[in-house]
Copies of this chain bind each other. A is one copy, B any other.
Amino acid sequence: MASHLAALDNDRIRRFLAEKNSSEPILVVDSEIVRDNYAKIAHALPDTRVFYAVKANPAPEILSLLAELGSCFDCASVVEIDMALATGAGPERISFGNTIKKERDVAAAYARGVRLFAVDCREEVEKVARQAPGSRVFCRILADGAGAEWPLSRKFGCVPEMAVGVLEHAHRLGLTAYGVSFHVGSQQNNVGAWDSALASASQIFRDCAERGITLSMVNLGGGFPTRYLKDIPAVEAYGEAIFEGLRAHFGNRIPETIIEPGRGMVGNAGVIEAEVVLVSKKSEAADELRWVYLDIGKFGGLAETMDEAIRYPIRTARDGDAMSPCVLAGPTCDSADVMYEKAPYALPVSLEIGDKVLIEATGAYTTTYAAVAFNGFAPLASVVI
């Protein structure tokens, strides 16, 4: 029988998996691809500082590699700050990018030397002013997220009109009103998505200037996609579109910029090897859809299949055979643990119980999303090579 590994382009991951012969699902991340992604992003946006979104994949090897390459870190919690600091990177390379922070966590970050904080309301500004005096804050504004595949809610950010008041409040409380941030939505396929947010940002710069406050930074957020099933624009196209937006809205007074790639940095660097546990049908009817059950599902690391948002490429040893649509589900006793059903997924008709499959582009938002022990299944194993 052909090996599923023959379907894999990546030699390093192929060799590792062949040798490992894992009996449980495992994510393998190729550090060379992460290195390459960093270089491409840095090259596409040469004047922009890169803050890697640690939450996308906090594996220590990835953080250390990125620290060595010069990356800064966007952290969501004190634990993530400690992980970033453990690489040897100094606290000046860390942004506490979560707009929802316990006041004691602001204090803990400040004690570690962190001086850059995200806010989106006056209440959060006050926490930072009390616990991290003199720090820089940037205010997150709402962006519409059109064109993004992973749903953006209104959870983070305020309307642009409110941001001026928030930054003014920070200024009055002795903080440095540093700039504006936004997020155009994760897995953003529209390179023009940054334009309207940049227009809002430049308006906030002008409104603050009228109040005597000079902002200096625009945080462009993340959103850079990973190639799943559909082609995506090249990183260069994003860089060009963003630069054009900056020129259009800030003229010759282009601010300092930072970006926070997560998925775009590690997504395509990872492959999950999993196993087919069952292939069956629900009735004897000739046109009945097959159900394919893997040993990984929504609660084992593929949480981003929620609402069938992210469709991962799946390779098998039988990819040359005839294909037919099937419902793809996970191994737990939870009826919500179904990945693709509304839009069934085409897999080889010859796929069998016990076959291994490769789920590609799974380097981001998989390991840490895994449930700690649902149904007794261990969280997703992970290796960086």
Contact = CB atoms under 8 A, between A and B. Distances in A.
Contacts of A153: 335-336, 338, 341
B121 A283 contact: no
Interface string A311-339: 00000000000000001010111111110
Number of copies of this protein chain within its complex: 2
Contacts of A367: 372-373
Interface residues of A, number: 81
A55 B306 contact: no
B158 A100 contact: no
A333 B77 CA distance: 9
Given A153-B341, A280-B120, A373 B368 contact: yes
Nearest to A98: B333
Given A55-B375, A335-B152, A353-B123, A283 B98 contact: no
A7 interface: no
Interface in A275-304: 275, 277-284, 291, 293, 295, 299, 303
A376 B97 CA distance: 13
Contacts of A54: 376
Contacts of A122: 280
A151 B98 contact: no
A372 B59 CA distance: 13
A337 B161 contact: no
B83 A376 contact: yes
A101 interface: yes
Contacts of A376: 54-55, 58, 75-80, 83
Given A98-B331, A121-B278, A153-B336, 15 more contacts: A23-B104, A55-B334, A55-B375, A76-B376, A77-B376, A100-B293, A101-B277, A101-B278, A154-B327, A159-B282, A162-B283, A299-B303, A368-B373, A368-B375, A372-B379
Interface of A: 23, 53-55, 58, 75-80, 83, 97-104, 120-124, 127, 142, 150-159, 161-162, 165, 275, 277-284, 291, 293, 295, 299, 303, 306, 327, 329, 331-338, 341, 353-354, 367-379
